């Protein structure tokens, strides 16, 4: 719909609603035949005035034509056109009827900003949804409070409290962060699988959450994959999924090589972090220390 027709229908609308607010169901009309001022009935909503009343005949009303409406008692010569058309990312919440214009709202996952439906903001890892978005309001994110985390980029997920390992009779292997839960394990699990293989399950997320240059990441993935694989054209997500697959298949010895491989791709900061994590999990757990 163009702006001018929107304005015109708005003005007509305003006029119509202002009059109806007075609850007047009549109007004054000068009869052409006699020159006398007559009090005519208005036409009810859903109809319009086809002919003014005369000294001998009441106002004549006609139903609105298809795609037209009147919402109030009126004496409009024509019903108003259903001028609202739902645009991009909108849905019809009320279809055009003789009694009202079509009404649109933003589709789920979108909200109205400056006449456009815009996608709800997704809270990044480390942030949770504090107030979900609606058709009128954007998502509100909060930095995860102490001892809670959010690992996802989401417009729905809130921050989740870290699992209390000891309350579950488990060992705390690695303290959580705003982006990661506490890593817990049972003594049996530690003895059977080893700390590194337990750490392995959180490594894909760890890689996803590191800020790193695409070129370095691509170089790193080239180190992981067979030489004939081409990685230059891969996007961030695809590179990360290669890393996840590699981790999935890796045993302890290969996992232990990861920091060195990261250094070879000049991902020094990530290498240090990973080394520290490996050291922490391998030293933690009372059941290990008692052996």
Ligand X SMILES: *[C@@H]1O[C@H](CO)[C@@H](O)[C@H](O)[C@H]1NC(C)=O
Q: From the CB of 198, what's the least distance to ligand X, in Å?
A: 20
Q: From the CB of 103, what's the least distance to ligand X, in Å?
A: 49
**SS3 of residue 197 by DSSP:** helix
**Residues that bind ligand X in the complex, under the rule CB under 6 A:** 164, 166-167
Which C-beta is closer to ligand X: that of 95 or that of 286? Answer: 286
Q: How many whole angstroms separate alpha carbon 268 and alpha carbon 195?
A: 23
Q: From the CB of 182, what's the least distance to ligand X, in Å?
A: 9
Q: How many whole angstroms separate alpha carbon 204 and alpha carbon 224?
A: 14
Which C-beta is closer to ligand X: that of 64 or that of 172? Answer: 172
Which C-beta is closer to ligand X: that of 101 or that of 284? Answer: 284
The secondary structure of residue 123, as a DSSP letter, is: B
Q: From the CB of 146, what's the least distance to ligand X, in Å?
A: 10
Q: From the CB of 167, what's the least distance to ligand X, in Å?
A: 4
User: By C-alpha distance, which of 124, 126, 122, 127 is closest to 177?
Assistant: 126
The secondary structure of residue 288, as a DSSP letter, is: H
Q: How many whole angstroms separate alpha carbon 11 and alpha carbon 17?
A: 10
Q: From the CB of 147, what's the least distance to ligand X, in Å?
A: 6
Q: How many whole angstroms separate alpha carbon 80 and alpha carbon 155?
A: 39
Which C-beta is closer to ligand X: that of 90 or that of 182? Answer: 182
Residue 54 half-sphere exposure, CB side, CA atoms within 13 Å?
Answer: 7
Which C-beta is closer to ligand X: that of 60 or that of 163? Answer: 163
Q: What is the CA radius of gyration of the chain?
A: 34
Which C-beta is closer to ligand X: that of 17 or that of 164? Answer: 164
User: By C-alpha distance, which of 129, 147, 125 is closest to 205?
Assistant: 125
Q: From the CB of 164, what's the least distance to ligand X, in Å?
A: 4
Which C-beta is closer to ligand X: that of 166 or that of 248? Answer: 166
**SS3 of residue 43 by DSSP:** strand
The secondary structure of residue 159, as a DSSP letter, is: P
Contacts of 233 (CB under 8 A, 6+ apart): none
Instruction: List phi, psi (to 5°) of 201.
Output: -65, -20
């Amino acid at each position: 719909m163009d702006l001018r027709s929107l304005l015109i229908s708005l003005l007509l609308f305003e006029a119509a609603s202002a009059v109806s607010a007075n609850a007047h169901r009549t109007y004054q009309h000068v009869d052409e035949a006699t020159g006398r001022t007559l009090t005519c009935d208005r036409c009810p909503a859903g109809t319009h005035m086809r002919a003014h009343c005369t000294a001998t005949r009441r106002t004549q009303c006609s139903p609105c034509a298809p795609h037209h409406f009147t919402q109030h008692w009126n004496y409009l010569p024509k019903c108003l056109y259903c001028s609202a058309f739902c645009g991009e990312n909108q849905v019809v919440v009320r279809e055009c009827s003789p009694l009202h214009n079509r009404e649109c709202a933003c589709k789920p996952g979108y909200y109205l900003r400056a006449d456009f439906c815009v996608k709800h903001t997704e809270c990044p890892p480390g942030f949770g949804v504090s107030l979900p978005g609606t058709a009128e309001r954007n998502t509100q994110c909060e930095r995860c409070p102490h001892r809670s985390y959010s690992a996802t980029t989401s417009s729905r997920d809130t921050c989740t409290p870290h699992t209390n390992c000891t309350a579950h009779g488990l060992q705390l292997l690695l303290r959580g962060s705003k982006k990661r839960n506490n890593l817990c394990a049972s003594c049996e699990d530690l003895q059977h699988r080893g700390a590194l293989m337990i750490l392995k399950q959180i490594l894909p997320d760890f890689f996803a959450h590191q800020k790193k240059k695409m070129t370095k990441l691509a170089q790193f993935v080239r180190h992981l994959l067979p030489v004939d694989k081409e990685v230059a054209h891969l996007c961030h997500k695809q590179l990360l999924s290669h890393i996840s697959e590699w981790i999935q298949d890796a045993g302890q010895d290969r996992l232990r090589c990861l920091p060195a491989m990261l250094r070879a791709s000049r991902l020094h900061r990530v290498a240090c972090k990973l080394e520290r994590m490996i050291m922490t999990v391998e030293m933690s757990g009372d059941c290990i220390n008692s052996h």
